[in-house]
Structure 1
Amino acid sequence: MDKRIVSIKLNTTTEPKLIKVAPIPKKGLAVEKNVRFKNLRLYLAEYCDATTIHGMKYIGERGRHLLERLAWTITLAFLFTFCLLLIRQAYIKWESSPVIVTFATKETSISKIPFPAVTLCPEAKFDPEIFNFTRTFKRKQRGEMLTMLPNFDPLGITSIKWLGDEIDLGKDLMLSYTPDGVCYTFNMMPYEEMVRYNDSSNATLDSGNKTNKWSLQDGYPSDDSTTDIYPRRSFIPGFDGGLVIRSIFTNNSHIDYLCEESLRGFKVALHHPCEFPNMDKHFRLPLDQAVLVAIKPSMITVSSELLNYSPSVRKCYFPHEKYLANYKLYTQQNCLDECFANYTFHHCDCIPFYFSVLNESLSVCGPGSNECVKKSKLKYMKIEGNSESDNQQCGCLPSCTSLSYEVETSQSEWRWEKSFEALDPPQLSHLNPKEMHFSKLKIYYKELQFLSCERNERYGMIDFFSNMGGLLGLFIGFSVTSAIEILYFCTLRIICNIKKYGKKSWSGKPNVVK
């Protein structure tokens, strides 16, 4: 065998060329990322196929075109957004006005509420026959309250009947202080039970026979059907179940035609027994007339669901939630009266005389302060009447259990002369019939029962969630079960798949690794 020697000549003058070598791919990391992506894709597809939300299965269904997936994704996103907007509106309504006043489900008997307090204010403010200027001036200097009001029954002929029985005029008519002067009131609670500070020597008549078993919030005892509870209540409608004041006397000598624009007779106001009479809401009882007054109660109560609401939300106060410095019982009218008294004292350095029973330590406004009192009342009502005013400080919301009385009046001429001719009362034998005037008043309930109103939840928590669930269910089929499914797929199912198949097959598909 021939051996040949091959010589290789190297060209040392040529520069060596650099050869770029691609890096070796990390095959393990790429495979791991691919496994994670497959697990996620398979897991989402499994969720879309199992969930109860409408339309999701078309997004995760295998083999579907991208256009189909995109269309269903946009549809679900639009429906979900629109549903959220409607839920937001429902939440705003729930937050802004959660309370609504509706009619009660059953009627209320008139025996469950007190008969209204009746206040009569004569237009005749004094008796010229007994008025003495010197004596009056001295009493005023001593700071005594002037009651120049004529005697309510100077002839001893006036009678009052309650539930068909005649009652004692002296015990059942109390003196009350109003902007129209000193008046007579029937069925109002004694001042010592209404106000915290009062002069009991002149505030009321004898009230020792009055048994108070009624409260503003709880009403009358359910097991007590007696008729001597105070304030009085009626059990039947019509004349026999009401108040009749007959032969209210007025003498011509008591009439001053320069007072009250020459109007003659009486002002009559019906009000809550726990409140002072508001003579701005009155009707008239003319002379020589018989006036019939049919009462229709108006009561608003509150449901137990609103007990946990704040007063600003439910728009009313329970008796224990609002403290009044001068009144023992909270009502909206009492709150307004106290606030007006404080406002007047701040601007006029005195209070109107009819508020003197609230705080006897404050000075009482005299005739020279009448103009200041009138202007203060106008300014005060302007502030309090505007519920959105920043200057409103008293915040006199209605009572959660409020009671008022609507009246229907009718009147006719009363020929009392003919009646008295038949009766021939001896008290009138020496008097001239042309110098006398008599009036008659009948007040009674119109119906045995009435339909009250009740403050209820407009949107409670249950109503709001029901509304929200109804919208979600209507548009996308979302429910509480759907939320539990999402929580389940994000937690427990993954944990169980890892324990069963390992971390690399957390989607529950072992063939992902293969």
Structure 2
Amino acid sequence: MLVSINPKYTRITDDPFPAVTICNLNQAYKSKAQQFSIYSFDYTIIQMLCKRDVNVTIADSITDWSNLIHLIHDISQPCSNMILQCKYAGLEFNCTELFRPIITDNGLCCVFNMIDPKFMYRNYNTSAAKSFANENYKYPEGYEPVDWSSEAGYPSDLPEKFIPMKTVGTGESVGLSIVLDVESDQYYCSTSDSIGFKILLHNPLEVPNMREIGLLLSPGRETKIRIQPEKVESERYVRYISKNARKCLFEDEERLDIYNEYTQRNCGVECSASEISETCGCLPHYVPRLYGNETTCSMRESNCVERIRLETMLLKNSRRDCADFCMPSCNDLSYMPSFFSAPLIHSGFENEKFAENISKAYLEKNIAVVNIYFKDTTYRNQKNSDYIGQALAV
């Protein structure tokens, strides 16, 4: 297959703004974690989440780990506390409507512009899927969720306001601007060796891989993130070339069990989850339940889960190679960020309502300002086409 640069420019306003997922590195509010008796199930589970020594006798007596997601919601920093202010396309929004809570492999996070769960998950009507997707979340007034994919694009009959939102222009004034509070005094345990946030820009169709590729954001700094889109498109007749020859898949050529649309990332999540389920007999809490009756992995299976997870990440290992098994998408959209940051100054927030009771010391220790935007109105994408002698599909 011939890979070339498309001579025609693509306008950024034809695509959605990237999904943006943000996680506090803190896994539990100190004030909430310290309320539990050290002999309670909840305290024991929190120690497990924090990767600390656990009372094995208590852990072994826990027979049902299915409420782990609810506990994570209860003990984690809510999006309303994390995100103090948010603007998109020059308009200020209610941040709890712009950002949806989501359970990831890095704990409870907040995501902007992700496709609605009813379009993402194949069996969304199961109670387990709805619980995982936080069905009580409400979109900003007047906005409707719509289906979108890298291959089919947006539906032809778009409402006036919709999610995932399109990119509207260049520059930080019409990008996504947010103010974050890390609440460092509430730190109980961190997923890293630091205090701060993880952030990831990703395709709205995909679940974020926060643990492995999330990038760090520091409090006390303003960070500007410039976006460079990377798009792959395939000519229509590429479909008639054998899969092994073209080395990519169209979205209807591989049926996923959890997700409606095929992407390499979503396939990788399922591949790893399948290996964990077959070997360890359970599913990690951050993987949506397909039928609702799957067993949630307990502390007893944690070593098995981590071993299989790492094995499926390795290239050319003895176990199924998920990176090789999950081919790239023939039509794909991703976003490459460039980070620039500088220290915050307290005087810059004098006219902001949320900063009325914030001292200079608190600002420097807890507040992060992030501006995410495109710098160019157009870009050139990668185009897949055939060439003479290419093997055809049977």
Q: TM-score range by the shorter chain?
A: 0.7 to 0.9
Distance across 1 between alignment mates of 2:167 and 2:185: 38
Mapped pair 1:172 → 2:98: yes
SS for the counterpart of 2:213 is coil
Aligned pair in 2 of structure 1 residues 407, 227: CA closer, same or farther (>3 Å)?
Answer: farther
**TM-score, normalised by the number of residues in structure 1:** 0.63
For residue 309 of structure 1, report the CA deviation from its aligned partner: 1.6
Stretches of structure 1 lacking an aligned partner (at least 5 in a row) = 1-98, 462-514
SS for the counterpart of 2:282 is coil
**TM-score, normalised by the number of residues in structure 2:** 0.81
Distance across 1 between alignment mates of 2:154 and 2:240: 25
Mapped pair 1:230 → 2:163: yes
Mapped pair 1:137 → 2:42: yes
2:10 is matched with which residue?
108
1:185 is matched with which residue?
111
Preserved contact between residue 226 and residue 339 of structure 2 (Cα < 8 Å): yes
Which deviations, in whole Å up to 9, do the C-alpha atoms of 1:112-132 show, x marking residues without a partner?
211111000101222122333
1:200 is matched with which residue?
130
Which deviations, in whole Å up to 9, do the C-alpha atoms of 1:333-359 show, x marking residues without a partner?
111110100101111111111103445
SS for the counterpart of 1:412 is strand
Please point out which of 256, 270, 275 is paired with 1:338: 270
Aligned pair in 2 of structure 1 residues 273, 391: CA closer, same or farther (>3 Å)?
Answer: closer
Matching of residues 257-406 of structure 1 within 5 Å: 259-279=190-210, 280-382=212-314, 385-386=315-316, 391-392=320-321, 395-406=325-336
Which deviations, in whole Å up to 9, do the C-alpha atoms of 1:263-290 show, x marking residues without a partner?
1110001111011001222221101111
Distance across 1 between alignment mates of 2:41 and 2:98: 28
1:150 is matched with which residue?
77
For residue 242 of structure 1, report the CA deviation from its aligned partner: 1.1
Distance across 2 between alignment mates of 1:115 and 1:379: 33
Mapped pair 1:423 → 2:351: yes
Preserved contact between residue 30 and residue 187 of structure 2 (Cα < 8 Å): no
2:376 is matched with which residue?
447
Please point out which of 17, 21, 28 is paired with 1:119: 21
SS for the counterpart of 1:237 is coil
For residue 330 of structure 1, report the CA deviation from its aligned partner: 0.6
Distance across 2 between alignment mates of 1:362 and 1:152: 28
Which deviations, in whole Å up to 9, do the C-alpha atoms of 1:63-95 show, x marking residues without a partner?
xxxxxxxxxxxxxxxxxxxxxxxxxxxxxxxxx
Mapped pair 1:211 → 2:114: no
Stretches of structure 2 lacking an aligned partner (at least 5 in a row) = 46-61
1:249 is matched with which residue?
181
Preserved contact between residue 102 and residue 132 of structure 2 (Cα < 8 Å): no
Distance across 2 between alignment mates of 1:432 and 1:403: 42
Amino acid corresponding to residue 407 of structure 1 in structure 2: P
Amino acid corresponding to residue 276 of structure 1 in structure 2: V
Q: How many residues align?
A: 354
SS for the counterpart of 2:259 is coil
From the CA coordinates, give the structure whose radius of gyration is larger. Answer: 1
**Identical-residue share of aligned pairs (%):** 26
For residue 324 of structure 1, report the CA deviation from its aligned partner: 0.9
Distance across 2 between alignment mates of 1:255 and 1:347: 35
Which deviations, in whole Å up to 9, do the C-alpha atoms of 1:343-378 show, x marking residues without a partner?
011111111111034453211122333322221022
SS for the counterpart of 2:207 is coil
* More strand by percentage: 2
Preserved contact between residue 152 and residue 249 of structure 1 (Cα < 8 Å): no
Aligned pair in 2 of structure 1 residues 136, 173: CA closer, same or farther (>3 Å)?
Answer: farther
SS for the counterpart of 1:408 is strand
Aligned pair in 2 of structure 1 residues 312, 413: CA closer, same or farther (>3 Å)?
Answer: same
Which sits farther off after the overlay, 134-143 or 174-183?
134-143
1:438 is matched with which residue?
367
For residue 261 of structure 1, report the CA deviation from its aligned partner: 4.7
Which deviations, in whole Å up to 9, do the C-alpha atoms of 1:126-170 show, x marking residues without a partner?
212233325863997663222211133339x81110001011212
Aligned pair in 2 of structure 1 residues 359, 117: CA closer, same or farther (>3 Å)?
Answer: farther
* More helix by percentage: 1
Amino acid corresponding to residue 299 of structure 1 in structure 2: K
